[in-house]
Chain A
């Protein structure tokens, strides 16, 4: 009997071009996504070496990180951003790469449009010069972030030198309580295993709570795998995956679809497959999560007080917590709920999809954002923006006193002018609460779209369940 294989192993094995004794495998890459920030030096490298892009037809480019969200023109962008975006345009046109540029009706955040256009498919290898490439693993693809040198490798050879990562099974069993979402699941996992807990591994998310998630929730889950150090997170494809993909622009059609389905159905891990590590979390016991610190593992159920460094036995952890609370200017032992916020950001490749916006709108409808609070809602793609507008979500946001923007990374990374001022507090649906991530001196509480919307209404960190009884 053949050795039972994990999902990762199956995808890996069929993409190995060659394997020498003394070197890493040459791994073939099915889809390479490219954005403006991490690619310029790779294109320069190609030019210097006189190389072409091997497979422009397996390469897709979008503008998202430093693009304005107030308008679709570069008039408001700063000079550096404009220069980078212009360079990106010439790189794509010189090397024949399809580009979703500022005027393109399907432009958006790279990890949002890949799935939305049906480019992301089960069993693929997908890379991008961006750590949240893990998002695409929601479809049962092996998808991970790479650096710019590797971007150049893939542009030139459609391949990468890689060692096979270890496997880490993450089981979420049970049913989520109302008000608890995929974002809370992943924040709970990261809080449990730590920011380096998944280093060297690829997560496979499984269990009844994962099966019950729609594709957008699964993307949220896989998106933040990297925040626990895992380069990728994967979920075995199932009917929900196939239903999502059917009919999308780049999804296979007709006989090719049937053939693809046969392949995709064989991807789930075999019974008895062995993982290097595993963890189980009872999803029915989860609460809405919120972070209090300066990395995504410093998070807790929203009802918990800010932890006290004095109670931390490990000196390194104590020092880290002290440093984080100093930056955040938070008092140990005090509840986080009720803490005033200045800005609420709903967006990013973690939580900017239609279902996220709908959830936020469900609380904002007929209510007002608290005085003095700035609410920024930034859809993940132009497609999502138009769909949300067709449903009236833009109007709900505006009527509540919030700002409704064009698609982009926006305040997730604060490269385009959407940013916190020093000392400001934000509840944010993005993925990183690192010092200064959302603007120099800015302070971030990571949470779900529901928690973000509830906090915008009260002007304080707020448990969304208080709005739901």
Chain B
């Protein structure tokens, strides 16, 4: 997993609440056996016109948001299916962090395992960020994972929560499976006791 430490980037605004993983990547893109190329299906239903050409007013297609690495999303982002293809597609497109007021549980878990940082901010910061991007699409924020802050251009710092374990894994780029494998003996002992 790629390390996540400090990220300064523009924001891509997607002001809808309850964006489900079927929108993030529709099921027709899930017939793959690896993780590559999924970014083509990212927001496919909203991003393309019926003929397959890019829909000009969708933020991902707009020149001012190319290369941006932070998605500014509405409340309860990532609800619905457990498909990890959703964070894979986002990461494949170049997204490294998502700022919202809340995330669905499974999506949040999946993101944390792919170096994609879900950032929960308060309502006021959330609205302020949307206003700033509407005003100036080149607005940049700095995410500091170690300090657990998002720094706004006006100097304001918004704190965000993250559990210590996920934070260390992201900062160091550690795969959580390694941790589980290190506990093999405990797992074996548990199995023995349980199956007796």
Residues of A within 8 A of B (CB): 17-18, 22-24, 26, 28, 37-38, 40-41, 44-45, 49, 51, 54, 65-66, 78, 80-81, 83-84, 87, 129-131, 145-150, 152-153, 156-161, 163, 165, 195-196, 199-200, 226, 229, 231, 295, 297, 316-317, 319-320, 323, 413-415, 422, 432, 434-437, 440-441
In chain B, positions 63-112 with a C-beta closer than 8 Å to chain A are 74-76, 79-84, 87, 102, 104-106, 109-110
- Contact of A131 with B81 at beta-carbon distance under 8 Å, contacts A199-B102, A415-B31 already known: yes
Residues of A within 8 A of B74 (CB): 316
Residues of A within 8 A of B181 (CB): 51, 156-157
Residues of A within 8 A of B144 (CB): none
The answer to whether B34 touches A44, judged by C-beta atoms less than 8 angstroms apart, is yes
Is B17 an interface residue when CB atoms closer than 8 A count as contact?
yes
Given A23-B179, A196-B102, 11 other A-B contacts at CB below 8 A? A40-B32, A41-B84, A87-B33, A199-B104, A229-B79, A231-B106, A316-B74, A422-B50, A434-B23, A436-B45, A441-B50
The answer to whether A38 touches B83, judged by C-beta atoms less than 8 angstroms apart, is yes
The answer to whether A157 touches B163, judged by C-beta atoms less than 8 angstroms apart, is no
Of the candidates A146, A149, A317, A413, which one forms a contact with B27 in the assembled complex, judged by CB atoms under 8 Å apart?
A413
Nearest A residue to B31 by beta-carbon distance? A80
Residues of A within 8 A of B177 (CB): 45, 49, 149, 152-153, 156-157
Nearest B residue to A88 by beta-carbon distance? B33
The answer to whether A415 touches B28, judged by C-beta atoms less than 8 angstroms apart, is yes
| 18 A-B pairs in the complex with CB atoms less than 8 angstroms apart | A17-B190, A23-B179, A37-B83, A40-B33, A41-B84, A80-B32, A147-B106, A149-B114, A158-B187, A159-B183, A196-B18, A199-B76, A200-B105, A414-B27, A415-B31, A432-B80, A436-B23, A440-B28
How many residues on B have C-beta within 8 angstroms of the other chain's C-beta atoms?
Answer: 51
The answer to whether B27 touches A41, judged by C-beta atoms less than 8 angstroms apart, is no
| Central interface residue in B16, B35, B183, by most chain A CB within 10 Å | B183
Residues of A within 8 A of B102 (CB): 196, 199
The answer to whether B28 touches A323, judged by C-beta atoms less than 8 angstroms apart, is no
Is B140 an interface residue when CB atoms closer than 8 A count as contact?
no
The answer to whether B104 touches A229, judged by C-beta atoms less than 8 angstroms apart, is yes
Is B61 an interface residue when CB atoms closer than 8 A count as contact?
no
What is the CA–CA distance of A200 and B104 in the complex, to the nearest angstrom? Answer: 8
The answer to whether A17 touches B187, judged by C-beta atoms less than 8 angstroms apart, is yes
The answer to whether B176 touches A157, judged by C-beta atoms less than 8 angstroms apart, is no
Residues of B within 8 A of A196 (CB): 18, 75-76, 79, 102, 104
Nearest A residue to B176 by beta-carbon distance? A161
Nearest A residue to B20 by beta-carbon distance? A434
